[in-house]
Every structure is written in C-alpha cells, then in structure tokens.
A and B are shown apart, each in its own frame.
Chain A
Amino acid sequence: MPYDDFRGFLQALRQEGQLLHITDEVMPEPDIAAAANAAPRLGDHAPALYFDNVKGFTDARIALNVHGSWANHALALGLPKETGTKEQVEEFIRRWDTFPVAPEWRENPLWAENTLEGEDADIFRVLPLIRLNDGDGGFYLDKAAVVSKDPADPGNSGKQNVGIYRIEVKGRRTLAIQPVPMHDIAQHLHTAEERGEDLPVAITLGNEPVISIVASTPMEYEQNEYELAGALRGAPAPLARAPLTGLPVPWGSEVVIEGVIEGRKREIEGPFGEFTGHYSGGRNMPVIRVDRISYRTDPVFEHLYLGMPWTEVDYLIAANTCVPLYKQLRRDFPEVQAVNAMYTHGLVVIVSTKKRYGGFAKAVGMRVLTTPHGLGYAATVIVVDEDVDPFNLPQVMWALSTKMNPAGDLVQIPNLPVLELAPQAVTPGITDKLIIDATTPVAPDSRGNYGTQVRDLPEAGEWLARLRKLAGTR
C-alpha cells in the first residue's frame, strides 16, 4: 500500500523494526551526521534514525538514513524488507512498464497548516538545520525535491521537473542551488536566464519515500516524475498547487519552500562533501530568494548524510539509475539482459548482453555513453556475457579475469562530457571514457582460446533449492 506522506512511512519503518529512535540528548554537530555516517555500516538491514532530543533546540525532529539500506528501499516500494537487490531492480522495471500514471489532485494539503511570508520566511525558524561533513561550507538541504517548469513551455507537464539538488543555506531567506548542466533544472534556468528572468521554484522536504526515489531518477527531459511515482506506487501520486508559485507539489510534504532562482546571479558556494565521496571545490553558483514557507505543525526534518560510499545516497540512487539505462538500451538492443549502474550514480556501468555478432558488445557499450544519463556519467562501461549477472561482482570479476584482453577489448574515447563533480577529469566536465569488453568473442571475432565454458550442472538449481530448505530447517 503506498504512503501518502512522510510520517506514514516513518510509522511503517517503526513497525518493521527499521527506525531507530535515539532518545539520548545529542549535539547537533557532530553527533547527528556521525550517526548517519555510521548507520549504513550496520549492513543491508540498517535502520533509519530519528532524533528529537537535540541540544539547544526545543522541538527538533530529524530523520536520516530513511532510504539508507536495501531493507528500507524495499519498504519504500512496498516490498518485503528481505527482498534482494536484483529483485528490487527487476520489480522497479516491471512497475515502470505501467508508466505514466497520472497524478491525483487533492484538497487541503498537509503542509498548508502554517505559513511564513516575506521577511518572516526565515528557514531557521522552521527547520532544525545541522551540518554534515567537516569541510562543508555551511548547512545544506540535500534531500529536497525541487519543482520547476520550463519557462518556454510552462503548460507542458512533461517538461516540468522534480529533482533533488544540493542546496546550501546562505542566509535566513537565501539559499544556493547546484544545477548540474546535465540535469533538467539547468535547462529551465538556462532558458530563464537567456530571457533575463528569475526561475520560480518550490522546494519540498519530508516527502513520502517514492517521491525521493523519482526525484533522483535520471528520467528523460519530457518524462514526468510524478507519473513515474504513480507507476511505482501502484496508485496516483497525490499533489496540490503550491500557493505562491502554483507549482505542483506533493500533497503530503512536511515543508514547502517557495521562491525564485534569481536570474543571472552567481555567488560563492560550498565546498560540500558530494556523492562522489569527494568535496567539490568552492564555485560561484545560483542563488535562491525564499518568499514563502508552508509547513505542517511540528514538522519532521528529513536529512541525508553522504560521504565515503556507501551511505544513504548510494542506496537512494542505485536501482533508479539502473532502470532508465536498462529501458533505453533495450529499445535499440533487446539483447541486453541487465544493467548495474549502482556505483556512484552510474559513473561505472556494467551491462550484460547477448551478442548478435563480433563487436556487438562494444557497440552496446558505446550506446551507454550516448544515453542522456551516460552523457554526464558512465566514465567506465563494463560489458559482460548474458550469463554473467552484473549485480554479482565476483562473476563480473571472473569475466574481467578471463574474457578481457587489453589488446583488443579496451576502447578509450577522448574528451567526452562528464559532470563537473567527477574528480578524475583533468579539466572538470571533460574526460576520456572507457569501454571494457569482457564478453566472449563471437564470429567473426575469433580472438582468444576459449574452448567450451563450464556450465552449471542441470541438477544444480534443484539442489540449490534443496540445500536452502535443509539449511533453513537446521
């Protein structure tokens, strides 16, 4: 059953034993970020964390690591918490097949209970802000779904965007945002700035968990995130109009911040410990003026720690990076079996495929580079045979160990685009990319001495089930 608000999901996590309520008094820094840093180290069933006794605050409620394990990711999708990683990706693919599912407009949004406007729209009065990593330039909002419209086509709901971007708190009513040029909001801002206009935005915090998943899914420009949320939920996403901007926002958000990205303005921002596991340097970035804040009474502040992988962000952008790449590759190449783009938002992509003829695997690898997401990511693509599971890294390493000959299987393409945060680029934003063909050559490619591969015995599958049963009944 889908969740219509953040608190409904927190309750479900609590019932499943996946929410740890820390009742001891903690310091806002470094305790909360350090706990969220540590939580994913508890493994695939790590819990979300909930703090409500924070020194100096009178009524802080802060939730972190909400998506920070495969168990919590499964629960977010309404699956049993034991569901395996590959099975979650496969279910995500099946549900995407029902895309688009139109949203549902609902009256009386939960965030309409309280309002601060104009000079009173002070973010510190609403959110118990905390700092994350030592080198961060300030307080960040890094799990907010930001809504904007294409200024050249504002009536087109396909071109509207819901995305998670890093947002720095620069003052009581001032924020900074990072619109990576490969992401949709950067196109909206580009159009607004060419026209000399501001770009209205609604920043929504504390959303039901599927909204966070779709807002961090690399969808195509004209695909609507709320319509994907409907497909993943199995029910329309409930929406309401934000009062100042009229932008469509989740009905159940804890907090909705409205304002504008001020056109043609840049100001020093950062650094910030990023999803790459490295700090970005200080850069001049766009500035948001906050004009209105709407919020539920006693709002819960949802935050996300990110650092040395894996942390919550890696779970949040794992399955939802694999699936659009899989869908896009399958359009042209139905031979593609599976895509694992779980590592650093797909800076490495592993694809398993059947081969039509010699050289085919390299062509699949090149197609990865030209997908919309691959343009900014996919620094390394590993292509493996159809019987290698890209989610099984020991199998992938076996393929690299035995199927790859550097003499003919490494394709290095110079000077392709990559997001500026990718630390390996010599010039930020431009890098060589690598395709590693770790498939068995097929005719007319006759390289190697492969003979015949050893296959699982036909009876092994039956024995696996039998052994599991026996082991389970010990």
Chain B
Amino acid sequence: MSDTNALCPRCAHEAIEHIFDSPVPGVWEVLQCGRCLYMWRTSEPARRTRRDAYPAEFMVTPEDIGTAPEVPAVPPLRTSAA
C-alpha cells in the first residue's frame, strides 16, 4: 500500500520518504517530503494527502523555502578575546 511514488501534496516534489508504519499492519503509513519536509499519514483526508485536493493557500514552492526567514537569527560567533 506504499504511497511513496506519490507527489508531495504540498510542494509536488517526487522524493518521498517512508517514516513509520501503523502498528496494526497495513492500515496507514507516515510519509515525508524530502524537499519541503511536509509529513503526513496516508489515512488522512484527501485535502491533506493528495496534490490535486491540497488547498492552494497551504502549497509551498522551492522559492518559499529558499526565502523563508531565520527565526531566531544565528548570532555571530563570539571570539575568545571578546
């Protein structure tokens, strides 16, 4: 039942990693996108698991990832003389 060939619902990336199987075999899997790191369970509603049903307001592009702000900002390294 693996969906690892599916597209990431959020960013349409094709490399999907399998993270965890349901303790009751074959009920669901937890998957993760290798690019935007979206993680979901295959038994969730289509609006969370299928690219063609995923809400536009939650979609992510590579540009979004590249321009995401850093929170909190990494401070400069303190030199030993300081």
Residues of A within 8 A of B (CB): 27-30, 55-59, 124, 129, 131, 134-135, 137-139, 169-172, 178-181, 186, 189-190, 193-196, 264, 266-269, 271, 281-286, 420, 428
Chain B residue contacts of A27, Cβ below 8 A: 43
The reply to whether A57 and B74 contact each other, CB–CB distance below 8 Å, is no
In the assembled complex, the Cα of A30 lies from the Cα of B47 at a distance in Å of: 11
Least CB distance from B42 to A in Å reads 10
Is B13 an interface position by the 8 A CB rule? no
Least CB distance from B21 to A in Å reads 9
Contact of A138 among B37, B69, B71, B78 (CB under 8 A): B37
In the assembled complex, 24 residue pairs joining A and B whose CB atoms fall closer than 8 Å, in A order, are A28-B41, A29-B44, A29-B48, A30-B44, A55-B24, A55-B28, A56-B28, A57-B22, A57-B24, A58-B23, A124-B20, A134-B47, A135-B57, A138-B37, A138-B40, A190-B72, A264-B74, A266-B74, A267-B37, A269-B37, A282-B64, A284-B69, A285-B70, A285-B71
The reply to whether B37 and A266 contact each other, CB–CB distance below 8 Å, is no
In the assembled complex, the Cα of A55 lies from the Cα of B43 at a distance in Å of: 9
Contact indicator per residue, chain B 39-75, by CB within 8 Å of chain A (1) or not (0): 1110111011000000101101000110011111011
Least CB distance from A131 to B in Å reads 7
The reply to whether B23 and A57 contact each other, CB–CB distance below 8 Å, is yes
Is B32 an interface position by the 8 A CB rule? yes
Chain B residue contacts of A271, Cβ below 8 A: 58
Least CB distance from B57 to A in Å reads 7
The reply to whether A193 and B75 contact each other, CB–CB distance below 8 Å, is yes
The reply to whether A138 and B38 contact each other, CB–CB distance below 8 Å, is yes
Is B7 an interface position by the 8 A CB rule? no
Chain B residue contacts of A169, Cβ below 8 A: 39
Chain B residue contacts of A29, Cβ below 8 A: 41, 43-45, 48
Interface of A is mostly: loop
Contact of B72 among A124, A189, A194 (CB under 8 A): A189
Chain B residue contacts of A135, Cβ below 8 A: 55, 57-58
Most A Cβ at <10 Å: residue of B19, B22, B30, B72: B72
In the assembled complex, the Cα of A357 lies from the Cα of B56 at a distance in Å of: 56
Contact of A268 among B22, B36, B76, B78 (CB under 8 A): B36
Least CB distance from B30 to A in Å reads 7
In the assembled complex, the Cα of A190 lies from the Cα of B40 at a distance in Å of: 32
Least CB distance from A77 to B in Å reads 33
Chain A residue contacts of B76, Cβ below 8 A: 194
Least CB distance from A190 to B in Å reads 6
Is B77 an interface position by the 8 A CB rule? yes
Question: Known: A57-B22, A131-B40, A137-B38. Contact between A171 and B72, CB under 8 A?
Answer: no
Is B27 an interface position by the 8 A CB rule? yes
Chain A residue contacts of B48, Cβ below 8 A: 29, 131, 134
Contact of A282 among B28, B40, B41, B68 (CB under 8 A): B68
The reply to whether A268 and B20 contact each other, CB–CB distance below 8 Å, is no
The reply to whether A268 and B45 contact each other, CB–CB distance below 8 Å, is no
Residue on B nearest A181 in the bound complex, by CB: B72
In the assembled complex, the Cα of A284 lies from the Cα of B67 at a distance in Å of: 9
Least CB distance from B20 to A in Å reads 4
Chain A residue contacts of B43, Cβ below 8 A: 27-29, 55-56
The reply to whether A172 and B78 contact each other, CB–CB distance below 8 Å, is no
In the assembled complex, the Cα of A58 lies from the Cα of B68 at a distance in Å of: 39
Most A Cβ at <10 Å: residue of B47, B65, B75: B75
The reply to whether A134 and B55 contact each other, CB–CB distance below 8 Å, is yes
Taking A131-B44, A139-B39, A179-B72 as known contacts, 9 extra A-B pairs with beta carbons closer than 8 A to each other, sorted by chain A number, are: A29-B45, A55-B27, A57-B23, A134-B58, A137-B10, A138-B37, A138-B38, A268-B37, A283-B71
In the assembled complex, the Cα of A441 lies from the Cα of B4 at a distance in Å of: 68
The reply to whether A284 and B58 contact each other, CB–CB distance below 8 Å, is no
Chain B residue contacts of A129, Cβ below 8 A: 30
Question: Known: A134-B58, A138-B37, A169-B39. Contact between A268 and B68, CB under 8 A?
Answer: yes
Least CB distance from B70 to A in Å reads 5
The reply to whether A268 and B65 contact each other, CB–CB distance below 8 Å, is yes
Chain B residue contacts of A266, Cβ below 8 A: 70, 74
In the assembled complex, the Cα of A373 lies from the Cα of B77 at a distance in Å of: 28
Contact of A284 among B20, B40, B71 (CB under 8 A): B71
